[in-house]
Amino acid sequence: MTPALAGVLSVLCVVVILVVIHVPLGSWIHRVFTSEHHTRAERAVYRLVGVDPDGEQRWTTYAVSVLAFSGASILLLFGFLLGQGFLPWSQGRSMNVDTALNTAVSFVTNTNWQSYAGEAGTGYLVQAAGLTVQNFLSAAVGLAVAIAVVRALARQDSDRIGNFWVDVTRGTLRILLPLAVLAAVALVAGGVVQNLIEPTTITTIGGGQQVLQGGLVASQESIKELGTNGGGFFNANSAHPFENPNGWTNLLEVVLLLAISSALPYTYGLMVKDRRQGFALAGAMGVLMVGAMALLTWSEVAGGSLEGKEQRFGTAWSAIFASATTGTSTGAVSAMHESLQPLSGGVALLNMMLGELSPGGVGTGLYSMLVMVVLTVFIAGLMVGRTPELLGKTIGRREVTLVSLALLITPTLVLVGTGIALVNPVSLDAMSTAGPHGLSEMLYAFTSAANNNGSAFAGLSADQPFLNLALATCMLLGRFVPIVAVLAFAGGVARQGRRPATAGTMPTSTASFAGFLVVIILIVAGLTYFPSLALGSIAEALS
Amino acid sequence: MVWRQLLASLRFLVVMTVLLGLAYPAAVTLAAQAFGSRAAGSLLTDADGRVVGSALLGQAFGPEWFQGRPSASAYSGETSGGTNLSPASSDQADARAQRKADLVAANPEAIGPVPEDALTASASGLDPHISVAYALWQVPRVARERGVDAGALRNLVAAATEPAPLDFLGQDSVNVTRLNFSLAGGVQR
């Protein structure tokens, strides 16, 4: 089989699998969040936590719950990372204070940027009981926020948008945990390690020395992909043979990291009782995802370089993984992104710059896409002179203001952050190279942090106090400003009634609307980021 | 309101740490036992029962063995990762030229061009695989160094070749660690 044919087949294979699973998975997620029934395990959790599962919250309380929970998570994980030396199974590993703070923020915001190397910074216990836990919970928080926003759009004349504790508990126990168990067992069957064996120095076949690592890898790997987290057990992440040993595990990991985000538009359609609304979003996400994946795969297969790639995956699957991981805010890597072709590196950057919505992170992808839908409705309304409406909800000044806030915070963080880092001698020292590629290295770091992706041009020596704190700030604001904004938006639309659709209503479920949505997404990202891409990846590709 | 939510958060975190951080990994570890040696890292043991490596990880080998790809971490196992060189950079061009010169000098009897995977460092630094072309390219050197028949070596290469799943989920690769293990007389179970 020629590499080109294999590349086409590979992209098709991923798309077909997603098309097949998104309906059952999306329906299941819909059932989970609309069910009136609490399971016995969930009732036990609510009793232990001390919350009333049947009392719904206003958007303000919902937002306070998200912020309080995430704040408590950061503090606890920060303490855990600093104190791991006092606990068993730390393997003598430790972190600096600024590295630990960066890591705690990173895992709680679903970014999973890693300025430490897994083999050196984190022992087995903190990986399992600290990082794995946040892999679940940060994904569940994103999912909860998305569901609350959709619920608000589906409601009218209500001042409540749901109960955060119920949403986060159900997302964890009924969706993430069962899928993660199945995926972890499948990964072990494929060769991913899962043990508590201490790192051991052995004499190799040729008489040399090598350290064999152990760890609870499979249980972390499955939720790392499924929850669009991306923090590797090892420094080489999903390129490490113990995390991703062969073509089968690689396919499973790619599907896992795309699965939930691809299914959520279908859930959205079911919740607003108009499945075509969901298909329009899925179509827009699909066009962006397949476009980026095809471009990146073509670029790598044509380039042919295996630098920073694993032989067992080859160019096409390294490219597909790179596209999937940057389009979903996952940030796991099966090839070193800094060694991608200049054009491919630019596509990976652009995938993140679109705002992580093709199809984006678990939950975050859906609400980021809804932000763009509101903006598109507003712009289209201005163009044709109609009152902008979405699902019978008027898009007024409050809605547009909140959506703009959610939309503008990430580019602000990326561009201002990169700018400051490029004039600061301390962070300039961290760069592995100069010129356009050096610019891309720094731009990639801030884009990855502010969009909560977590992948890196890993030549950057990011483990220094300035970059650790600057990137942690980007991760925090890039996560929670949009969350508060979309929850405030949800509170407003839930209170509204629903205008009946008339002949003058612009439909938001047609192919032409989906096409216009894609155009708006590309224009917004293009206008914002074209200059920085031109000076970095584009300049490098043309030189 | 904030204090009540913070208190609920802390309790929720304790419950979830027990469930997701301890019970879940423990359950997966128990289930993993059903897959025998895989959960432990697909270890290879010699005739004396000593562990000599993992079938999943590459190792550094001298000229009398088949050799893996260039590694940014020299196959140490204590670190992993790549060179992070851009394929468009002059550093990468220099590195490729150096690797090529070294390989050609060490393999004077090799036939054909040096394969791509021999000139590029892997992503993990622990890649156990090389292309079939690179394995066959090394056969004359290994045959000379060990004083064995090239045909027998080619049979060993064929036995250590792992085809791409479904023909397109990756690419056909030779597992160098398994190949050298059988070269050393090891028997895989």
Cα–Cα distance between A114 and A445 in angstroms, integer? Answer: 11
The tokens for A397 are 């000044």
Question: Do residue B123 and residue A318 have CB atoms under 8 angstroms apart?
Answer: yes
- Report the gap between the CA of B161 and the closest CA in chain A (Å): 11
Residue A212 touches partner B, C-beta closer than 8 Å:
yes
The pairing of strands A393-394 and B43-45 is: unpaired
Residues B129 and B96 in one domain: yes
Residue B188's pLDDT is what? 54
Chain B: residue nearest A190 by CA? B38
Residues B59 and B16 in one domain: no
Average pLDDT, chain A: 96
Residue B189's pLDDT is what? 47
Angle at Cα A424 formed by Cα A423 and Cα A429, nearest 5°? 110
- Report the gap between the CA of B159 and the closest CA in chain A (Å): 16
pLDDT at B9 over 50: yes
A93-98 average pLDDT score: 95
Examine residue A396 and state whether it is found in any structural domain, yes or no.
Answer: yes
Half-sphere exposure (Cβ direction) of B6: Cα atoms closer than 13 Å:
8
Residue A504's pLDDT is what? 80
* Closest among B187, B185, B186, B181 to B56, alpha carbons compared: B181
Examine residue B188 and state whether it is found in any structural domain, yes or no.
Answer: no
Tell me, what's the ipTM?
A: 0.96
Residues in chain B closer than 8 A to A188 (CB atoms): 28, 31-32, 35, 38-39
Residues B7 and B51 in one domain: no
Burial class (CB in 10 A: 0-12, 13-18, 19+), A425: exposed
Cα–Cα distance between A47 and A39 in angstroms, integer? Answer: 12
Examine residue B151 and state whether it is found in any structural domain, yes or no.
Answer: yes
Examine residue B189 and state whether it is found in any structural domain, yes or no.
Answer: no
Examine residue A7 and state whether it is found in any structural domain, yes or no.
Answer: no
Residues B35 and B109 in one domain: no
Residues B16 and B102 in one domain: no
The tokens for B26 are 């423990």
Single-letter amino acid code for the residue at B138 = Q
Residues in chain B closer than 8 A to A306 (CB atoms): 69, 116-117, 120, 122
Of B2, B25, B127, the CB nearest to A132: B25
A223-240 average pLDDT score: 97
A419-437 average pLDDT score: 94
B63-118 per-position pLDDT tens digit? 999 999 999 999 999 999 999 999 999 999 999 999 999 999 999 999 999 999 99
Residues B107 and B19 in one domain: no
Residues B34 and B125 in one domain: no
Examine residue A154 and state whether it is found in any structural domain, yes or no.
Answer: no
Helix (H/G/I), strand (E/B), else coil: A1: coil
Examine residue A429 and state whether it is found in any structural domain, yes or no.
Answer: yes
Residue A135's pLDDT is what? 98
Residues in chain A closer than 8 A to B130 (CB atoms): 311
Of A45, A303, A311, the CB nearest to B15: A45
Question: Do residue A247 and residue B170 have CB atoms under 8 angstroms apart?
Answer: yes
pLDDT at B187 over 70: no
- Report the gap between the CA of A426 and the closest CA in chain B (Å): 21
**Does residue B115 have a cis bond before it (omega within 30 degrees)?**
no
A294-328 per-position pLDDT tens digit? 999 999 999 999 999 999 999 999 999 999 999 99
Of A50, A195, A540, the CB nearest to B40: A195
- Are B91 and A433 spatial neighbours (Cβ–Cβ below 8 Å)? yes
Examine residue A44 and state whether it is found in any structural domain, yes or no.
Answer: no
Burial class (CB in 10 A: 0-12, 13-18, 19+), A480: middle
Examine residue A93 and state whether it is found in any structural domain, yes or no.
Answer: no
Question: Do residue A211 and residue B77 have CB atoms under 8 angstroms apart?
Answer: yes
Chain A: residue nearest B61 by CA? A206
Burial class (CB in 10 A: 0-12, 13-18, 19+), A492: middle
Of B35, B79, B117, the CB nearest to A235: B79
| Full domain range(s) for residue A425 | 369-542
Element (H, E) at B139: helix B132-146
A376-393 per-position pLDDT tens digit? 999 999 998 888 999 999
A-to-B residue pairs, Cβ atoms closer than 8 angstroms: 339
Examine residue B14 and state whether it is found in any structural domain, yes or no.
Answer: yes
Residue A242 touches partner B, C-beta closer than 8 Å:
yes
Cα–Cα distance between B130 and B117 in angstroms, integer? Answer: 6
Question: Do residue A247 and residue B1 have CB atoms under 8 angstroms apart?
Answer: no
What's the gap between Cα A384 and its chain centre? 35
The tokens for A71 are 């704040």
Chain B: residue nearest A80 by CA? B17
Of A72, A184, A334, the CB nearest to B6: A72
Residue A501's pLDDT is what? 85
Residues B52 and B114 in one domain: yes
Give the other-Cβ count within 10 Å of A157's Cβ: 9
Lowest mean pLDDT among A2-6, A77-81, A375-379, B3-7: A2-6
Of B15, B51, B121, the CB nearest to A307: B121
Domain count across chain A: 1
Chain A: residue nearest B75 by CA? A210
Residues in chain B closer than 8 A to A120 (CB atoms): 78-79
A332-348 per-position pLDDT tens digit? 999 999 999 999 999 99
Residue A219 touches partner B, C-beta closer than 8 Å:
yes
Question: Do residue A119 and residue B79 have CB atoms under 8 angstroms apart?
Answer: yes
A285-295 per-position pLDDT tens digit? 999 999 999 99
Average pLDDT, chain B: 95
B130-139 average pLDDT score: 98
Chain A: residue nearest B127 by CA? A310
Residues B127 and B90 in one domain: yes
Residue A89 touches partner B, C-beta closer than 8 Å:
no
- Are A357 and A285 spatial neighbours (Cβ–Cβ below 8 Å)? yes
Examine residue A522 and state whether it is found in any structural domain, yes or no.
Answer: yes
Residues B57 and B34 in one domain: no
pLDDT at A461 over 80: yes
A120-124 average pLDDT score: 94
Cα–Cα distance between A292 and A147 in angstroms, integer? Answer: 27
A129-143 average pLDDT score: 98
Examine residue A463 and state whether it is found in any structural domain, yes or no.
Answer: yes
Residue A235 touches partner B, C-beta closer than 8 Å:
yes
| Full domain range(s) for residue B119 | 41-183
Question: Do residue A205 and residue B53 have CB atoms under 8 angstroms apart?
Answer: yes
Domain count across chain B: 2
At B43, the pLDDT band (50, 70, 90 cuts) reads: very high
Of B31, B84, B120, the CB nearest to A432: B84
At A180, the pLDDT band (50, 70, 90 cuts) reads: very high
Of A132, A181, A235, the CB nearest to B27: A181
Instruction: Give the helix ranges, DSSP H, for A424-510.
Output: 425-428, 435-450, 465-495
Residue A540 touches partner B, C-beta closer than 8 Å:
yes
Residue A143's pLDDT is what? 98
Best of A76, A221, A235, A306 to disrupt the B interface (most B CBs within 10 Å) is A306
At A356, the pLDDT band (50, 70, 90 cuts) reads: very high
A233-291 per-position pLDDT tens digit? 999 999 999 999 999 999 999 999 999 999 999 999 999 999 999 999 999 999 999 99
Residues B30 and B65 in one domain: no
Residues B95 and B75 in one domain: yes
* Closest among A488, A385, A465, A480 to A149, alpha carbons compared: A488
- Report the gap between the CA of B109 and the closest CA in chain A (Å): 23
